[in-house]
Amino acid sequence: MAQDREEIEEEEEYVLLDLDSVSADIDIPQNAPYVLSGLDTLNPILIIDNKIKLIGEYEETIGTCIIFKESEEAPISREETGSSETNLLSNKHMMDPKQTPAKQVNPLASLQKVLKFRLFLDADDENGDDKDANTLS
Give me the pLDDT at residue 67, please.
Answer: 86
Is 82 within the bounds of a domain?
A: no
Specify whether the CB–CB gap between 134 and 63 falls below 8 A. no
Please give the Cα distance from 3 to 43 (Å, whole number). Answer: 42
Structural domain range at position 118: 14-61+111-124
CATH number, domain at 23?
2.60.40.4370
Give me the pLDDT at residue 117, please.
Answer: 95
pLDDT band of 96, cuts 50, 70, 90: low
Give me the pLDDT at residue 79, please.
Answer: 53
Among 47-51, 83-87, 120-124, which range has the highest average pLDDT?
47-51
- DSSP category for residue 135: B
Overall pTM surpassing 0.75 (yes/no): no
Is 19 within the bounds of a domain?
A: yes
Please give the Cα distance from 108 to 114 (Å, whole number). Answer: 16
Alpha carbon separation from 44 to 1, 94, 103 (Å, rounded):
43, 54, 35
Q: What is the tally of structural domains in the chain?
A: 1
pLDDT at 130 over 50: no
Tell which wins on pLDDT, 98 or 34.
Answer: 34
Is 34 within the bounds of a domain?
A: yes
Give me the pLDDT at residue 82, please.
Answer: 54
Which helix H or strand E contains 18, and what residues bound it? strand 14-18
Give me the pLDDT at residue 133, please.
Answer: 47
Is 116 within the bounds of a domain?
A: yes
Query: Per-residue pLDDT tens for 33-67?
Result: 999 999 999 999 999 999 999 999 999 888 878 88
Specify whether the CB–CB gap between 119 and 136 falls below 8 A. no
Which backbone phi and psi does 76 adopt, to 5 degrees? -75, 135
What size, in residues, is the chain?
A: 137
Give me the pLDDT at residue 83, please.
Answer: 53
